[in-house]
Every structure is written in structure tokens, then in C-alpha cells.
């Protein structure tokens, strides 16, 4: 009799890698991100192994640390910060100049992390892209912080223009640096707009998942808080962006180009996680 399920043995390698990544995340966050004890580390570690099953635990170390850092930054801005400008400007300076800033735990950890990222052999061809996408994400955080506190929201187009606050680029680009391979830079003309599509889709899927919590929570900014926006409209935009992403990547997928496969797997994981799930309300690890 053949059971209608995949072979359980295929999950063992992923479990081993995810376990090693999780152990590193727990040790690193305890030292580098004090006070952030409720980060979804299990989800981050297992998700990293699922998205890049060909990568080693060491190759996943920097991307997952950045994922934890991005969650901690988001938590700080949402729950603790009385002003976003100084921290955002300092984060941007760390990445732009490469100079360490130890004035805040988030800056100290970012400084050390960024120095390690920029030392990897895969970094130089992606330097300009990393700086641009990091800046775009932080620009989005600044916009969300102001809009959420003043409740003076602009247009839907303006919101979408700041959608990189979802931080997907902050995690995915370090994957390319760590294990994207030497052929990746030659395909950035396809990969970058595909990940832009995915980033928008994940931003909107996240908004659908979190609106019940965020609607009455001070300081939040969600597309469903904007005039005339409905859940059905948002679902339609998610579907459009995912379709566009797959269409862009198709030529690379036919040759099993792993960075393109990784983008598709990231879309399956991230959208799947946010379908009916608000990671902020899950039981902490």
C-alpha cells in the first residue's frame, strides 16, 4: 500500500539544518538583541531550510540572523521608539559607510553583521543593490512609523511605494550573497523585478493576516486602513504580483537555476505562512 503522503525521511536533512540554524539564532539573539525574547525563531530557522534546501547551515546563518534583526527592528519601531528618524538614519549610515555604530543594540548587531556580510566573496557584485534595498526598506519603516502615529495617511499608491518595509529584501539578498553562486549577477535583470513583485505580494498578504490585530492597535499602518481598499482587492493584487513573478522567472526555472527556484520557494513559504496566520500572535518559541 502506498500512503498518500511524501516520504517522511526527506524531512530529516531539513530538520538537521533547521536545528543547527535555530541553535545559532538562539545564541546570537540572546547576545546581540537583548530584550527581544519573543522573536519567531523556530519559524525563521525552519523557513530558511525549506526555502533553500541545498544550502548548508553555515550559509543560512547570516540570512536568518538578518531575519531576526529585521523582526527586532520592527518590534522596536512599533512598540518602543518615540522617534524613528535617528535610528533609521544611523542604520542607513552603518550600511552606507561600513562604519560601526555601538550607540544602540540594534546598531551594534547590524554593524557586526554587515561587516561579516561585506567580507563574503559573493558580496562585491551585489554591493550597490544591497545598499539600495536596505535603504528602501528603512524608508518604508520611516513612512509606516509616521503614518501609523499621525493617522494622516496618503494615497494607496504612496503606501505601495513604501512596501519594502516588509523586509523581504533584507533577508533574500543575503541569501544570494551567501549561496547564490557566481552566475547570479548575470541574471539580476530578471531576479530583481521578480523579487520586487514578491515583496509587494508578501507585504499585502501580511496586511491581510494582521488587520484584525492592527486595526485598533496604536501606531499601525496597514493597506486595509486606507479609504476604499477591501480584502478582495488586496487578494487580487497579491495574485497579480505572484503571477508576474512566475512569468519573469520562467526562463530561469526551465534550466533549474537555483536562485530563481529559491524565489519561488520563498513565495510559497511566505504567502503560505501569512494565509490566515499572524506571526505576532503565535506562541513564542
- 130-181 pLDDT, tens digit per residue, is 999 999 999 999 999 998 888 778 899 999 999 999 999 999 999 999 999 9
Look up the CATH architecture of domain 8-281: Orthogonal Bundle (1.10)
Does residue 281 carry a pLDDT above 70?
Answer: no
What does the radius of gyration of the chain's CA atoms come to, in whole angstroms?
A: 19
Strand segments (E) across 127-176? none
Residue 53, H or E segment: none
* Euclidean distance between CA atoms 159 and 157, whole angstroms: 5
Helix (H, G, I), strand (E, B), or coil: what is residue 263?
A: helix
CA distances from 162 to 104, 157, 209, 271 (A): 25, 9, 18, 19
Helix (H, G, I), strand (E, B), or coil: what is residue 102?
A: coil
Q: In the chain, where are the structural domains located?
A: 8-281
pLDDT, mean of residues 227-246: 97
**Whose grid coordinates read 527592528?**
73
Reading phi first (left if > 0) and then psi (alpha if -120 to 50, else beta), residue 219 is in left
Does residue 279 carry a pLDDT above 60?
Answer: no
72-115 per-position pLDDT tens digit: 999 999 888 888 999 999 999 999 999 999 999 999 999 999 99
Does residue 285 carry a pLDDT above 50?
Answer: no
The dihedral through the CA atoms of 116, 77, 29, 136 has a sign that is: negative
Which positions ≥6 away from 12 have C-beta within 8 Å?
none
* pLDDT at residue number 148: 86
User: Helix (H) and strand (E) counts for the chain?
Assistant: 11, 0
Confidence of residue 9 (pLDDT cuts 50, 70, 90): confident
Amino acid at each position: 500500500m502506498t500512503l498518500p503522503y511524501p516520504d517522511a525521511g526527506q524531512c530529516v536533512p531539513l530538520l538537521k539544518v533547521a536545528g543547527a540554524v535555530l541553535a545559532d539564532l538562539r545564541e546570537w539573539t540572546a547576545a546581540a538583541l537583548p530584550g527581544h525574547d519573543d522573536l519567531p525563531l523556530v519559524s525563521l530557522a525552519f523557513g530558511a531550510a525549506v526555502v533553500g534546501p541545498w544550502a548548508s547551515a553555515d550559509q543560512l546563518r547570516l540570512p536568518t540572523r538578518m531575519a531576526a534583526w529585521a523582526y527586532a527592528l520592527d518590534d522596536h519601531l512599533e512598540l518602543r521608539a518615540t522617534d524613528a528618524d535617528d535610528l533609521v538614519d544611523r542604520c542607513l549610515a552603518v550600511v552606507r559607510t561600513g562604519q560601526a555604530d555601538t550607540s544602540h543594540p540594534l546598531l551594534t548587531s547590524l554593524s557586526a553583521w554587515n561587516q561579516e556580510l561585506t567580507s563574503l566573496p559573493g558580496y562585491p557584485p551585489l554591493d550597490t543593490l544591497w545598499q539600495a534595498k536596505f535603504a528602501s526598506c528603512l524608508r518604508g519603516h520611516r513612512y509606516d512609523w509616521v503614518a501609523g502615529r499621525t493617522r494622516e495617511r496618503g494615497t494607496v499608491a504612496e503606501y505601495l511605494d513604501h512596501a519594502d518595509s516588509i523586509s523581504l529584501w533584507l533577508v533574500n539578498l543575503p541569501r544570494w550573497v551567501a549561496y547564490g553562486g557566481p552566475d547570479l549577477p548575470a541574471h539580476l535583470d530578471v531576479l530583481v523585478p521578480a523579487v520586487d513583485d514578491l515583496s509587494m505580494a508578501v507585504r499585502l498578504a501580511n496586511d491581510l493576516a494582521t488587520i484584525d490585530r492592527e486595526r485598533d492597535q496604536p501606531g499601525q499602518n496597514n493597506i486595509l486602513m486606507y479609504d476604499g481598499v477591501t480584502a478582495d482587492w488586496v487578494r487580487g493584487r497579491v495574485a497579480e504580483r505572484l503571477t508576474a513573478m512566475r512569468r519573469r522567472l520562467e526562463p530561469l526555472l526551465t534550466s533549474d537555476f537555483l536562485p530563481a527556484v529559491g524565489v519561488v520557494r520563498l513565495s510559497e513559504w511566505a504567502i503560505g505562512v501569512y494565509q490566515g496566520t499572524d506571526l505576532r500572535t503565535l506562541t513564542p518559541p
